[in-house]
Amino acid sequence: MIRIVLLAAFLGLPSSAGAIVTRHDVDDSEYRIPASGFPALVDMPRSGHGVLVAPQWVITAAHTLPRSRLRKVTINGEPRRVERVVIHEG
């Protein structure tokens, strides 16, 4: 019984995962890329990103959308007005 409790407690502990592996002998500045390096990256309002897949179309995960109406996004450092949001039925 105690093994099950310990296993449940262990599985419940938070763990961290890095999105990139960094080396101790390389300066952090070497891992930074300017926004201009990703011209198709779209900054969503609160948190999250999308990708510009055509001149006027962005694809992103639904959880990046704000609960209220999405009015603006930022593409390559420039704010852009959102005309409409299309959500896939699935």
Which CATH fold topology does 25-90 show? Thrombin, subunit H (2.40.10)
Q: Where are the domains of the chain?
A: 25-90
State the pLDDT confidence band at 76, using cuts at 50, 70 and 90.
Answer: confident
50-61 tens-digit pLDDT: 998 998 899 988
What stretches of the chain show up as alpha helix (H) in DSSP? 2-12
The arithmetic mean of pLDDT across residues 49-77, rounded, is: 87
pLDDT tens digits, one per residue of 6-40: 777 777 766 655 556 778 898 888 878 777 788 88
Q: Is the pLDDT at 70 greater than 80, yes or no? A: yes
Query: Quick one: pLDDT at residue 32?
Result: 80
Report which secondary-structure segment, H or E, holds 54.
Answer: strand 49-54
Token pair of 64 as six digits: 């990046």
Q: Which residue has the tokens 């209220």?
A: 68
Phi then psi for residue 19, to 5 deg, are -80, -15
pLDDT score at 61: 87
The pLDDT score that the predictor gives to residue 47 is 75
